[in-house]
Amino acid sequence: MPAHPAAAALVRPTWSWGLAPALLACFAAPAFFVLHVPWLGWVLLAAALAGAWAVERRTGETDAAASVRPPSLVRDLSLITVGLLIVSAIPLAAELDNPAFLRFGAALGGAVLVPYVVSRYAYRDRAIRFPWRGGGRWTRFQWSWLVGVLLLGWLILPFYFITSGVYLNWPVVDTPDLIARLFVGVGAVGIWDELFFICTVFALLFRHFPFWQANTLQAVVFVSFLWELGYRAWGPLLTIPFALLQGFIFMKTRSLAYVVTVHLLFDAIVFLVLVHAHNPGMLDWLFLV
């Protein structure tokens, strides 16, 4: 996941001043998506970039003398900032009409594409990559975990969605057309989650901080977005472990294909539960709740 081989030689200190602006940038996500206070998110992002600039200016002389210069925190946080600003520009309530599909496609696509293009062609550091195959063939444990994801989703998700009532945060899907649209929408957003939160936010933060810090920070952004999307009530008890685990899996496997597969299997259960919840009697045979 480092942008270039030399980056692997960089030492990520356990604690650094750069953690403060990174926290500010990531906590802009709950300001946007949980509190719905846009100006607070803007202030936090501006403070994050200013803080990162101050940190780099303070440590510039030391870095200049080093044989391997560390990546720029200002640049990497600016990429996260751009992505968050693009996503926050639209309402994230789940809708299935054509304008909603276009709105989501433009905003979510732009939040991945613009940081990637800026990184590659403006900053010329290739900080954002999408390693599809990663570290090689999947192990027996990885295949087993896919089965485990389906089993855990089947056991937990119906209870969560139905007993908490959060399924009502998604539109009623009671026709073949709406069911098909829900299937496409759930899957597309699931793929985007991994492209943005893992391959962009986590990968950029991991260039500067130890794994557990970078993973915790990306989880703040990931879970905030999922809250706005509809995973409310006690949903964070599910989405926080899921976000952390996806970061861990990506770090271990270096495989976008694998984390996307995990996510899509989980989302397949989400799709079926939503259809079940909105259409009593249709899938009663499949779930316990």
Domains of the chain: total? 1
pLDDT of 134 reads 75
Q: How confident is the model at residue 176 (pLDDT cuts 50, 70, 90)?
A: very high
Q: Flag whether pLDDT at 156 surpasses 60.
A: yes
* 112 exposure class (CB count in 10 Å sphere: 0-12, 13-18, 19+): buried
pLDDT, one tens digit per residue, over 190-245 is: 999 999 999 999 999 999 999 999 999 999 999 999 999 999 999 999 999 999 99
Q: How confident is the model at residue 137 (pLDDT cuts 50, 70, 90)?
A: confident
Domain membership flag for residue 283: no
Percent of the chain with pLDDT over 70: 93
Domain membership flag for residue 54: yes
Structural tokens at position 74: 């200002």
pLDDT of 69 reads 72
Domain membership flag for residue 287: no
Q: Flag whether pLDDT at 7 surpasses 70.
A: no
Q: Flag whether pLDDT at 8 surpasses 50.
A: no
Domain membership flag for residue 268: yes
What value does the mean pLDDT take over residues 4-16? Answer: 60
Closest of 215, 204, 200, 216 to residue 74, by C-alpha: 204
Cβ neighbours for 227, distance < 8 A, ≥ 6 positions apart: 30, 33, 34, 235, 236, 239
Domain membership flag for residue 258: yes
Looking at this protein, which amino acid is placed at residue 255? S
Identify whether the C-beta of residue 17 lies closer than 8 Å to the C-beta of residue 60: no
pLDDT, one tens digit per residue, over 266-280 is: 999 999 999 999 999
Looking at this protein, which amino acid is placed at residue 232? R
Longest Cα–Cα distance of the chain, Å, equals 69
Q: How many CB atoms lie within 10 A of CB 228?
A: 21
Identify whether the C-beta of residue 135 lies closer than 8 Å to the C-beta of residue 253: yes
3-class DSSP state for residue 288? coil
Angle at the Cα of 251 from the Cα atoms of 259 and 151, rounded to 5 degrees: 40
Identify whether the C-beta of residue 76 lies closer than 8 Å to the C-beta of residue 204: yes
Closest of 249, 116, 265 to residue 195, by C-alpha: 116
DSSP characters over 75-105: HHHHHHHHHHHHHTTS------SHHHHHHHH
CA distance 219 to 63: 29
pLDDT of 70 reads 82
Q: How confident is the model at residue 67 (pLDDT cuts 50, 70, 90)?
A: low
Question: In terms of residue numbers, what domain contains 133?
Answer: 5-278
Domain membership flag for residue 215: yes
Closest of 136, 151, 170, 145 to residue 257, by C-alpha: 136
pLDDT of 5 reads 36
Q: How confident is the model at residue 183 (pLDDT cuts 50, 70, 90)?
A: very high
Q: How confident is the model at residue 50 (pLDDT cuts 50, 70, 90)?
A: very high
Full-prediction pTM beyond 0.85? yes
Top mean-pLDDT range of 50-54, 251-255, 283-287: 50-54
Domain membership flag for residue 62: yes
pLDDT, one tens digit per residue, over 77-106 is: 999 999 999 999 999 999 999 999 999 999
pLDDT of 1 reads 44
Q: Which residue has the tokens 């946007």?
A: 32
* 156 exposure class (CB count in 10 Å sphere: 0-12, 13-18, 19+): middle
Domain membership flag for residue 286: no
CA distance 139 to 247: 18
Q: Flag whether pLDDT at 9 surpasses 50.
A: no
Distance of CA 275 to the CA centre of its chain: 25
What value does the mean pLDDT take over residues 108-129? Answer: 95
